[in-house]
Structure formats: C-alpha cells, structure tokens
Amino acid sequence: MPVARWKAGLLSLGLLVLALGFWEIGARPPAASSEAGAYAALVASDAETARLPPPSAVFRLAFAQLSDPFYDHGPNDKGIGIQLLHSLGRVATGYGLALAVAIPIGFLIGMSPLLLEVLNPFIQLLRPISPLAWMPIALFVIKDSAASAVFVIFICSVWPVLINTAFGVSRVHRDYINVAQTLELSRVDTALRVILPAALPTILTGMRISIGVSWLVIVAAEMLVGGTGIGYYVWNEWNNLDLASVIFSILVIGVVGLGLDSLIAGAARRVSYES
C-alpha cells in the first residue's frame, strides 16, 4: 500500500510539472520577427495582454502576497490573509449555527417516525433551493451584508447535516437501544452514550458535505455583497484586470477548501468502525 501511494504521488507530481510546463510555454507571446517592426511589436504586446499570465508570474505574485498577507492599505487593498480571515469567520459562524440547529432536530427526526413524516415535505421543499436565492431576502430583512452572508452559509449548511443526522440515528441497531433499556439508562443517556456514537460517522459525513458547500457558497456570496473576503478579493482583482491575482486567489480557495475537508475527513476516520 505505501508503495502504491508513492507511485501515485510521483505520477501526480509529474502531471503537475507537465501541466505547468505547457501552461508556461503557451502563455508566452509569439516572438516578433525583426522585419515586423513596431507594428508587430504592438501586436505582440496586445497578444500578451490577451493571454493568461504564466505560472512564473503567478508564483512571483504568490510569494509577494504570502510574504506580507496581513497588510491593510485601505478598503480595496487588503492582504490575502485578512480576506481569508473574514471569509473563514463567516463560514465558521454560519456553519456553527447550522450544526447547533441541524444536529438536535436531526436527532428528533431520526428517533420519531411521526416527526419525520411531518417535517419531510418542508425539508424536501427547501433543500433544493439555491442558497444564493435567499440573499435578496436576507439583505432586505437583516439589512447587513456580512450577516446576510452568514445566513446564506447557515441555510446551505443545515440540510446535509440534518438529513445525515436523521438517517444515522434512524439506522442505529435496535439491539443497542434494547441493551440501554435493559441497563435502565435514561433517554438522555441513551441518546448521548449509545445513539450518538453509533450515528457519529454518518453525522460527520453530513458535516463534511456541509463544510464544502459552505466554502463554495461564501465565495459567490462575497462577490455579491462586496466589502471583504476572498470572494470579494477575486471580483476586485478581476475588475482591476489582474489575472495573476485572480489565479492566485483561486489556488488559495482550493487549498483552504482542501484543508477544511481534510480536517473533518480525519475526524470521520477516527470514529469510523466496522459493523
């Protein structure tokens, strides 16, 4: 198994180097011949501005940005670190509120077939709605762009956790509950010491889905509301026609999203078990 991982890692690294090499070569402007004169140089300059910046330019910009990620030169000129902190703060708030609501309600639904029948039509109606469709209502009611972004994160995070929690709780072996009743455990003790550990892998799966969706949505939400955040950073750099900064921010978004997913995936592996 370790040998296979080494091989896969080397192949992935080789593909990355190959892709960056093609990108670097393809991003270079065509060389102008000596006979073309000033007009050809002008055409080459226009072609260069119409191309994506090469990886070398993105790496240089990344080095400069990461060397001082927390600078603040005004509303439209903040470091990538400040932008990320604002985005992560909004995600953490909305995601935390979603967990606080979805896990208890999911427990109740999973333990009560009647409650499942009552709430399921509402869940199935609201779940497919795009989170960004709630943004105009949130802005009208809350009247604060940052709080509205938090609400959008909440509304997109709550459904995967709620559904997975209800499913995990409902699938707990009845024998476990019978043993708890035999030991005369209270309903609270049964929920915390029997049902929760058994359903935790499924709950963490819902949490993993939710954190990925939250990170996707916050970028789009910040593009709409502006102010600060990694989404606003992307949009602002696009308005400045700085494609190197746009590509750099896309890479940062991917790395942070990978880190968030890996964090919850690691926790899920720790609580997983073979039934």
Domain total for the chain?
A: 1
Q: What is the CATH number of the domain that holds 219?
A: 1.10.3720.10
Considering only CA atoms, which of 207, 204, 172, 206 is closest in space to residue 190? 172
Is 27 exposed, middle or buried (CB count within 10 Å of its CB: 0-12, 13-18, 19+)? middle
Instruction: Report if residue 265 sits inside a domain.
Output: yes
Q: Does 252 fall in a domain? A: yes
Q: Is residue 259 part of a domain?
A: yes
Average of per-residue pLDDT across 40-56: 59
- 223 lies in some domain: yes
| Tens-place pLDDT, residues 49-100 | 557 888 888 899 899 889 988 988 877 788 899 999 999 999 999 999 999 9
Give dist(CA 122, CA 159) in Å, integer.
11
Q: Is residue 164 part of a domain?
A: yes
Residue 274 pLDDT level (bands cut at 50, 70, 90): low
| Cα gap 177→183, rounded to integer Å | 10
- Average pLDDT value for residue range 2-10: 77
pLDDT of residue 46: 43
Q: Is residue 194 part of a domain?
A: yes
Structure tokens at 205: 């799966």
Rg (CA), the chain: 25
Confidence of residue 29 (pLDDT cuts 50, 70, 90): low
Which phi and psi angles does 111 have, rounded to 5°?
-90, -10
Task: Tell the residue number behind the tokens 């899920």, with chain if given.
Answer: 268
pLDDT at 36: 46
Does 31 have pLDDT greater than 70?
no
- Structural domain span for residue 86: 56-271
Q: Residue 201 domain-assigned?
A: yes
* Segment 207-233 mean pLDDT: 90
* Calpha distance 209→268 (Å, rounded): 12
The pLDDT > 70 percentage for the chain reads 90
Tokens of 114: 């009647």
